Amino acid sequence: MRLLFYAAKIYDRKSFDPVLERFPGITIDYIEHELEPRTAALAEGYDAICAFVSADVGAETLAILKEKGVSVVLMRCAGYNNVDVEKAKELGITVKIVPGYSPEAVAELAMGLALAVNRRLYKAYNKVRENDYSLKGLRGVNFYHKTAGIVGTGKIGAAMARICRGFGMRVIGYDMYPNPSLDFVEYVSLDELLAQSDLISLHCPLLDSTYHMINIESIKKMKDGVILVNTSRGALVDTDELIEGIRLNKFLGVGLDVYEEETGNVYEDRSDEIMAHSVTARLLSFPNVMITSHQGFYTMEALEAIAETTLKNLTDAKAGERTGNDVA
């Protein structure tokens, strides 16, 4: 089976090539081009293509892929909001995803951000490098015996809840579907979670109902000195209103792996651009904010799991097997 791998980065080859040895029936060609209508025709002669979060897998792209003989679209990620699922079904194209490849990878980054903003690790790192051993601006708080509020207690939220419990925190959660594996989590309403938590970590998906769920109204319900972490999707937070909340001195710290403006610049080097109108740049002007570039999934284990499941998905698709990973 011939697989064309779009938007390939060096780390993709490094994670897929070793796993490929366990799938002798598959060959992969890696290309740097992003999948979109202009590049879909490159898939002529391939059985399947592999794409990522930033691809355009809309109706036009799918129609070209179909015309070129592609019957399987493999998303190497959990989300598929960029895929026109109905069109794929109409064309008879199978679409498979990789759900929950490593919840701990994302949860560990969430705790890393919480610790970094609490203890100002980024500031401490730079100070000591400049021979400044003073403690000015570095005071934090203990997490031990504080309250962690987990919004969305699915796979990643559950992993974060377990980490917080390991820190000796009281853990409260908000979810429409309480997770039966989390007997130590006390479920509360969102308003109660906002009012009681010292650390709030967002782990619910981006839906119409969760868009901008963190806004100035919800921020005002939070405790003063709260830490907010978002490793889920940028648009859960209204960035302008977050800035307003930071200005009101609400937050001890804010850690973001995802932010509203990331679409279109995921994993690109934009260091030569002047981001004068960027709200992300405005956020970065605050000393208690730390932003990372959507790296929650970026661990050896998560990348290997993504490669393994993606290639297994192709084998299943070719055998005509439908699994829980099928979305079309």
Question: Which residues are tagged catalytic?
Answer: 233, 262, 294
Sign of the Cα torsion 41, 269, 108, 183 reads negative
Residue 260 lies near ligand NAI (rule: CB under 6 A): no
Contacts of the segment 99-103: beta carbons below 8 A, 24+ positions apart: 99/324, 99/325, 100/155, 101/297, 101/302, 101/305, 101/306, 101/309, 102/297, 102/299, 102/301, 102/302, 102/305, 103/155, 103/156, 103/158, 103/159
Q: In the bound complex, what is the minimum distance in angstroms from residue 52's beta carbon to ligand NAI?
A: 12
Contact 219, 256 (CB under 8 A): no
Please give the structure tokens belonging to residue 75.
């998303």
> Alpha-carbon distance 206 to 212, whole Å?
9
Contact 222, 250 (CB under 8 A): yes
Contact 71, 93 (CB under 8 A): yes
Residue 175 lies near ligand NAI (rule: CB under 6 A): yes
Give CA 213 to chain center in angstroms: 17
Residue 120 lies near ligand NAI (rule: CB under 6 A): no
Q: In the bound complex, what is the minimum distance in angstroms from residue 102's beta carbon to ligand NAI?
A: 9
Closest to ligand NAI by CB, 115 vs 204, is 204
Closest to ligand NAI by CB, 23 vs 259, is 259
Stretch that binds ligand NAI, among 37-45, 134-142, 205-213, 217-225 (CB under 6 A): 205-213
With 0-12 CB in 10 A as exposed, 13-18 as middle and 19+ as buried, what is 120? buried
H or E element at residue 95: strand 94-96
Residue 197 lies near ligand NAI (rule: CB under 6 A): no
Among 78, 222, 229, 307, binds ligand NAI (CB under 6 A): 78
Please give the structure tokens belonging to residue 8.
């390939």
Residue 296 lies near ligand NAI (rule: CB under 6 A): yes
Under rule CB under 6 A, how many of the chain's residues touch ligand NAI? Answer: 29
Among 154, 170, 241, 304, binds ligand NAI (CB under 6 A): 154
Closest to ligand NAI by CB, 121 vs 190, is 190
Among 92, 129, 177, 324, binds ligand NAI (CB under 6 A): 177
Q: In the bound complex, what is the minimum distance in angstroms from residue 57's beta carbon to ligand NAI?
A: 17
Residue 112 lies near ligand NAI (rule: CB under 6 A): no
Stretch that binds ligand NAI, among 10-18, 89-97, 154-162, 214-222 (CB under 6 A): 154-162
Contact 261, 280 (CB under 8 A): yes
Residue 152 lies near ligand NAI (rule: CB under 6 A): yes
Point out which residues bind ligand NAI (CB under 6 A): 78, 100, 103, 106, 151-157, 174-177, 203-206, 209-210, 231-233, 257-258, 294, 296-297
